[in-house]
Amino acid sequence: MNHTLPPLLDSLERGQSLVRATILAHEGSTPRSAGSSMLLTADSQPHLRILAGTVGGGLVEARVMDSAALVLADGLRRMESFDLTGELAAGADMICGGRLRVFLELLVPQELHLFRSLNACLERGERALLLTPLDHGPRFLLRADALPLCTNKDTILHPTLQESARQQGVGIKTPTLLSVDGARYLLEPWVAASPLTILGAGHVSRPTALVAALAGFRVLVLDDRPDFANAQRFPQAETRVLQSFADALSGAHTGPGAFLVIVTRGHMHDADVLAQALRTKAGYIGMIGSRRKRDAIYERLRGQGFTDADLARVRCPIGLGIDAETPEEIAVSIVAELIQARARIGG
């Protein structure tokens, strides 16, 4: 969902209302899963235009757009159900064979402060919960522990609802429905983009940073060469120039949800950086290079006291085995492995 936040903020800042459609639940095989969302705008009236995201395309998306037009007209939140096993699937020549429920809601410029607070929370690397009544009423932005992040003097979060959000919000990865005192609410988890640090700013790093950013990672590129680590070469990433690789990870994200990709310009730098990486709790550590290079570096690190269990944390050669050769192909293989690891880590 994070990729829909920038265009959402941009539209609200320009005073434009939007409709957001979110898949709440799916059963069987469907084009998109729970949590997938889509933003629609009416700047091309009489027809709505998809601004960002998708709920699966095809006839389902067309039906959602019809419902979105009604939401934009009357402001009422709606729940729509789609059965891809029967007539709808046959009419669209679909073979998914599942069911899904989609929630549609109007977002208005008056809510800009709430979504700005959400964006600030994610930029700090924090997790947030968005609580929305299914029928009507104001939204609440909560911290992971359900304490309000964005308060409104005209609305008060009832203690019973807050406690229910706290209990149900622990560890959820997709939207969930709450029922409190006869009212129903949508509770959505918003998680900061997984931090990816690329150590080395050479020819493989550029496409890797680009593809990783497109895949939803928050990318930081580090190198000791100003001519390489700069915004011109990496417009989609943050860059930092190091004094040396001896203390490369100082200030970088290295917790269990962090991803470290080692692609420096030489074996010595790779070995130094890998030793630093293995002293962190990073959830993913990958290093480029041949098996011969890997074995030489591992032997050196064993001499420094690292164990085989430590070295087993490293993905080397990095990337999925797709016979990649060019920098761009290697980048695809690396990011594919990052996506796979992110799904397993839960980022």
- Dump pLDDT digits (tens) for 129-183: 999 999 989 999 998 888 887 666 667 888 999 999 989 888 888 899 999 999 9
Asked if 53 and 38 touch (Cβ cutoff 8 Å), the reply is yes
- Dump pLDDT digits (tens) for 157-171: 889 999 999 898 888
How many other β-carbons are positioned within 10 Å of the β-carbon of residue 214? 11
User: Tell me, what's the pLDDT at 173?
Assistant: 83
With 0-12 / 13-18 / 19 or more C-beta atoms within 10 angstroms meaning exposed / middle / buried, residue 307 is exposed
SS3 155: coil
Quick one: tokens of 58?
């095809």
* Mean pLDDT value across residues 310-330: 96
Q: CATH assignment of 195-345?
A: 3.40.50.720
Domain segments of the chain as ranges: 2-107, 112-190, 195-345
> Of 80-89, 97-106, 194-203, 293-302, which range is least confident?
80-89
**Full DSSP string of 181-234:** TTEEEEEEEE-PPPEEEEE--STTHHHHHHHHHHTT-EEEEEES-TTTSSTTT-
- CA 22 from centre of chain: 15
User: Tell me, what's the pLDDT at 208?
Assistant: 98
Q: What letters, b where the CB count within 10 A reaches 16 and e where it falls short, cover 38-66?
A: bbbbbeeeeebebbbbbbbebbbbebbbe
